[in-house]
Amino acid sequence: MNPGTVNSGAEDPLGPQVRVLFAALRHAGEPAAAAITARVLCGEAGREQRGTRVRFMLRLVGDRLVEVRYRAYGCPYTLAACEWLAQQLESGGRDSIGGPAEWAQKLRIPPARLGRLLVVEDALRAALAAADKTMTDS
């Protein structure tokens, strides 16, 4: 075979939304060092061997979600979805995010990549569940 071949022709295979998000992964990394004493809750899912691994980190001040960061290994759609979710969570809170089908629709992610988004969802839900538990415990 000839391996998958890409060039930057007239039509970007990623689509404009994913391309912009993928090009600037501003929320990738760790929560701000100065804020490390605050509560940071993590959720993780996936394995590199399966092509996708995602970790979300949520920083809470009291009951308020103030910062979302992530680390991710995966395809451009995975990374773009992580970035988009981090932006959505910080600006609109957890009620604004919906589920993988909605993410795919909004970002025009091909249906074949839905499996990758399920890993993203698992990581995010795990982080949110950890946050819920912390708030309940406190």
Partner 1 sequence: MSSGAPVYLDYAATSPADPRVAAAMSECLTRDGVFGNPSSMHQHGRLARECVERARAQAAALIHVQPRQLVWTSGATESNNLAILGTARATAKRGRHLVTARTEHKSVLDPCHRLEHEGFQVTYLDTDHEGLIAPERVRAALRDDTVLVSIMHVNNEIGVLQDIAAIAAICQERAVPLHVDAAQSAGKVAVDVARLRCDLLSFTAHKLYGPKGIGALYFAPARRASLQPLMFGGGQERGLRSGTLAVHQIVGFGVACELAAAAWPTDAERCERLRARLWLGLQALDGVLLNGHATRRVAGILNVSFTGIEGESLLMGLSELSLSTGSACTSDNDEPSYVLRALGRDTELAQSSLRFSFGRYSCEEDIDVAIAAVTREVRRLRAVAP
* Footprint on this chain of partner 1 (rule: CB under 8 A): 1-8, 13-14, 22-23, 25, 28-29, 44, 48-49, 51, 53-55, 71-76, 79, 110, 112
Picking from 78, 82, 100, the residue whose alpha carbon sits closest to that of residue 90 is: 82
| CA quadruple 121, 127, 128, 131: dihedral, nearest 10 | 180
| Between 4 and 136, CB nearer to partner 1 | 4
| Least distance in angstroms from the C-beta of 34 to partner 1 | 20
How near is the Cβ of 42 to partner 1 at its closest, in Å? 10
**Closer to partner 1 at the Cβ: 50 or 96?**
50
Please say which residue, 93 or 110, places its beta carbon nearer to partner 1.
Answer: 110
Is residue 8 helix, strand or coil?
A: coil
CA distance 131 to 40: 8
Task: Note the Cα 51 to chain centre separation in Å.
Answer: 15
Least distance to partner 1, CB of residue 23, Å: 8
Q: How far is the CB of 44 from partner 1 (least distance, A)?
A: 7
The smaller minimum CB distance to partner 1, of residues 2 and 138, is found at: 2
Work out the burial of residue 68: count CB atoms within 10 Å of its CB; fewer than 13 is exposed, 13-18 middle, 19 or more buried: buried
